[in-house]
Structure 1
């Protein structure tokens, strides 16, 4: 396991701004938009504090295609870590009838769908990995939808008081939009030969097709350079599990979330003071 002493900045003001917005949305969705008009400001503040009484930090888990990210994610899950899986969400946002499904049908046509209306992932994959413009077009459709669901799931974990959550996403560094919110990042690595053979075996691809998919992502070396932790998944499963256990121990002993709690408490105090001033007027 490779570990670096540096970690990503948390941008606390941006973090707190998003928490305020998401708290408002959560309350609005739960109680109806009339909530703020029918309840007192003091009640709203109590509800807000109830939602924001603890703050967690987020760890980004990523890797190259077929390096073993899903295996490591499952190991963290078995240790009790809350996981937000972008691959699972990516399937949810293109289910028949969703906004993403409708946009893909409009952009790519009927040929990338099965007769029952579900997305034909194999056909769509062949299309986008052979044409970078079409890959960009697909990402513009799916990424905003995926990010909205991810943020919501992270917020619900935050509301439950978790110390941290793991965001399992294959394109963390490629999209770069979520990186500023990560306290730490973990990259799963293996040898290029292993990556190629695993991808060919898993997806039943030719060498050329497999290399095309590997080369469509940021290089594994570059991802490892950007990561806080690198898990070497080129050995046996026991070795990988040992590296996961070591990182899990470090994450559980981290007090990084307390810094966020202090910042958030300061924001709440300012918020309450402003509301009090406005009411007093």
Structure 2
């Protein structure tokens, strides 16, 4: 079974593209969603986060205090690296267990915003980059995430690889720029991956 990574900057449309692949029978592991889930449901990871970032990392009902944790890590690169060093190994274990459940598929997708940045692409057979301009991604993100300000989105974009770098590193590209059919691109790419 091939493992294909799918990435793109915030607002590029990764989740939408993955839903189209899922309609074609290709399972998708949403790494960012699973990372959030594990931070609240993996007792070992929860304890590590509390030990490193304090009890305020969680609310009284056991939910991750995202506002508090974001304030801690997005203004301090060393703290962000520290958090990632806790979360990424837990996600890697979870991903391998998930892959075993889908061994009968021709390939699976691993959807992750920071696929190249974390180096996790090295454990995959190929990568897809979902590409859209920064202006379009900013517009989409602000309309989707009402809790974010423009400065928040730009700060996230600065933590991600530049578009040009992602384009160079990716094996395949899907253009989600509102000028080409994404369905046709996904269908063609699905056939290409399965026949390679």
Equivalent in 151, 167, 189 of residue 110 of structure 2? 167
1:133 maps to what in 2?
78
Deviation of 1:232 (Å): 1.0
Aligned-partner Cα distance in 2 for 1:165–1:146: 16
- The answer for the alignment partner of 1:145 in structure 2 is 90
Cα distance in 1 for partners of 2:39, 2:124 equals: 26
1:55-100 CA-to-partner distances (Å, cap 9, x unmatched) read x111111111121111111110111002222123212311256111
Structure-to-structure mapping, 1:171-250, within 5 angstroms: 171-176=114-119, 178-203=120-145, 204-235=147-178, 239-250=181-192
Q: What does residue 84 of structure 1 align with? A: 29
Higher relative helix content: 1
Alignment correspondent of 1:257:
none
Q: Deviations over 1:88-145 (max 9, x none)?
A: 3212311256111111111111223222111022332233222111111110110000
Once residues 243 and 152 of structure 1 are traced to their aligned partners in structure 2, the CA distance between those partners, rounded to angstroms, is: 30
Residue 170 of structure 1 deviates from its aligned partner by 1.6
User: Could you tell me which of 28, 48, 67 is aligned with 1:122?
Assistant: 67
Q: Over alpha carbons, which structure has the higher Rg? A: 1
* Long gaps (5+) in structure 1: 1-55, 255-281
Find the aligned partners of 1:58 and 1:168 in 2 and give their Cα distance: 11
CA shift, 1:202, in A, is: 2.7
Relative to structure 1, is the Cα distance of residues 131 and 252 closer, same or farther in structure 2, using a 3 angstrom cutoff? same
CA contact (8 A) 1:96 1:117 kept: no
Deviating runs (4+, > 6 A) in structure 1?
none
Q: Take 1:226 and 1:57, find their aligned partners in 2: how far apart are those partners?
A: 18
Contact 2:13 2:176 in 1 (8 A): yes
Report the number of matched residues: 195
- Separation of aligned partners in 2, 1:212 and 1:245: 34
Distance 2:133 2:33 in 1: 26
Q: Would the aligned equivalents of 1:96 and 1:118 in 2 still touch at CA under 8 Å? A: no
Q: Does the residue aligned with 1:174 lie in a helix, a strand or coil?
A: coil
RMSD over aligned Cα atoms:
1.7
Structure 2 unaligned spans of 5+? none
**Displacement of 1:240 after TM fit?**
1.4
